[in-house]
Amino acid sequence: MASILVVDDEAGIRELLSEILRDEGYDVQLAEHAAAARAARNAARPDLVLLDIWMPDTDGITLLKEWSAAGQLNMPVVMMSGHGTIDTAVEATRIGAQDFLEKPIALQKLLSAVKRALQKAALPAVRAELSLAAFTRAAPLRDLKKRLDQVAAKSRVLMLKSGMGSLAELCARSLQVPGKAWLDLTHHGQPLALEALEQAAGGMLFAAELATLPRLQQKNLAFALDRLDKYDLRLVAASTQSTAELASAGFDEVLLRRLAEVSLGAPGLAELKDEVPEIAAQILTHLVEAGEVPLRRLSTAALNALRNQKWAGGYAELRNAVRSLALGALEEEIAAEDVTGLLAPQPSAAAQALPLDLPLREAREAFERVYFEHHLQSEGGNMTRLAEKTGLERTHLYRKLKALGIATGRKGEEQ
């Protein structure tokens, strides 16, 4: 028989509902507030939740939003209230509640609502992406969500300016209408067609880093920008570079001015170091609920190890690391050793073999040889990028490589 979690701050109502449902053969658990409801939902994974709206710590609507944002609303929820309004019922339904019951709840209405909700639970759920709304206990992330909502209320276009470890995708996901399309223009390698915008109507267009967009994708961005109102679209573009830097690098200046009309500074993971453990834990919860990884949890030591990492690749890098840890862990609890084993930099064989007993000049040449061979390989033999990476002028770079006996063959060089 199905399991039901009853969440209500009034002991009398909890006991009454429990008695009725148990008489019908249901397995019933009780929670007196939102904190107990979170713990019970995570531990028992009920088939249905009966959730009171008015509770002293966190109200039911907020908890419903939290579960929805974290991808945890994969069970039906029936809201209950003795002071409900039509607006409240509409909001709860929009967030994802299956039904709404007014107190005092008649026996037949209760059983009918439970039956309907459990029948709907058999249908495949629409997966929600993780958003800032899931982080109700991290003040910097709550404030960021409020700022995003304020800007989005007045503008369809937002340019995010972020430092190292960008949260751009998480920010954009927070403004995406649930169930609507997501179109990442960074990976759209063909000219954007009207059909693509029509299919994405009501959804979100996203560009993770303007500095990486070639001319074609810049044209796609301009094409979409002209048609946001027509197709009820939002556009979030982000960059770790200033508009002046983007312009000097050749980005279309007219397009850049249009994108930068409304901009917002967004902290990166480097500035949110103390929030990294909660972000990582929520990512893991979301992956588990989506069935992408087996049931896993991060130990306190593992969370601290993640906190101390430098996430230059931002939210995407952290998400990939958490996914890799969950898939690779041999135990249900992910340990700090799992984190360091995955993320600790591994010296190359050449670096490990550096001779330390040579005279300084010979040791320096040996190091330089390893250094340039490493970067030449990582840049695919491209001398232009190697010059940028090492900070050397091209002619000086060629002389240096020749002196070190490193053959370039000018493979992959940009002319």
- pLDDT of 73 > 90? The answer is no
- For residues 357 and 243, membership in a common domain is answered with no
User: What's the pLDDT at 281?
Assistant: 94
User: What's the pLDDT at 411?
Assistant: 41
Q: How many CB atoms lie within 10 A of CB 119?
A: 11
Tokens linked to 90? 């509409």
Number of domain units in the chain: 4
Task: Tell me which of 215, 241, 266 is where a domain ends.
Answer: 266
- For residues 379 and 320, membership in a common domain is answered with no
User: What's the pLDDT at 125?
Assistant: 54
Burial of 384 (0-12, 13-18, 19+ CB in 10 A): middle
Burial of 304 (0-12, 13-18, 19+ CB in 10 A): middle
User: What's the pLDDT at 25?
Assistant: 95
pLDDT digit string (tens) for 252-286?
999 999 999 999 999 989 899 999 999 999 999 99
According to DSSP, residue 192 is labeled: P
pLDDT digit string (tens) for 7-57?
999 999 999 999 999 999 999 999 999 999 999 998 888 999 999 999 988
- pLDDT of 249 > 60? The answer is yes
pLDDT digit string (tens) for 153-204?
999 999 999 877 889 999 999 999 878 999 999 887 789 999 999 999 999 9
- Alpha-carbon span 358 to 361, nearest angstrom: 8
- Alpha-carbon span 70 to 174, nearest angstrom: 11
The per-type count for the chain, helices as H runs and strands as E runs, is 19, 12
Assign residue 61 the CATH number of its domain. Answer: 3.40.50.2300
- Alpha-carbon span 118 to 112, nearest angstrom: 10
> Is residue 20 included in any domain, yes or no?
yes
311 contact partners, CB below 8 Å, separation of at least 6:
164, 165, 268, 269, 270, 276, 317, 318
Predicted confidence band of residue 391 (pLDDT cuts 50, 70, 90): confident
pLDDT digit string (tens) for 81-125?
987 678 888 888 888 899 999 999 999 999 999 999 998 765 545
Predicted confidence band of residue 409 (pLDDT cuts 50, 70, 90): low
Predicted confidence band of residue 127 (pLDDT cuts 50, 70, 90): low
Please state the length of the chain.
415
Pick from 71, 65, 115: which is nearest to 51 by CA? 65
pTM above 0.75, yes or no: no
Task: Tell me which of 327, 343, 359 is where a domain ends.
Answer: 343
Predicted confidence band of residue 413 (pLDDT cuts 50, 70, 90): very low
- For residues 311 and 242, membership in a common domain is answered with no
Element (H, E) at 307: helix 300-307
Task: Tell me which of 228, 250, 266 is where a domain ends.
Answer: 266
Handedness of CA 277, 298, 77, 177 (dihedral sign): positive
- Alpha-carbon span 209 to 384, nearest angstrom: 21
* Residue 277 one-letter amino acid: P
- pLDDT of 213 > 60? The answer is yes
In angstroms, how far is CA 179 from the centroid of its own chain?
16
> Is residue 408 included in any domain, yes or no?
no
Given a contact cutoff of 8 angstroms between Cβ atoms, the answer to whether 176 and 131 are in contact is: yes
- For residues 338 and 294, membership in a common domain is answered with yes
391 contact partners, CB below 8 Å, separation of at least 6:
none
The residue range of the domain holding 376 is 349-403
Q: How many CB atoms lie within 10 A of CB 216?
A: 13
Give 120-178 as a DSSP string.
HHTSPPPPPPP-GGG-TT-HHHHHHHHHHHHHHTT-SEEEEEE-SS--HHHHHHHHSPT
Residue 359 in 3-state DSSP?
Answer: coil
Integer angstrom CA distances of residue 28 from 2, 50, 135, 400, 404? 9, 10, 28, 74, 74
In angstroms, how far is CA 130 from the centroid of its own chain?
5
- For residues 353 and 339, membership in a common domain is answered with no
- pLDDT of 382 > 60? The answer is yes
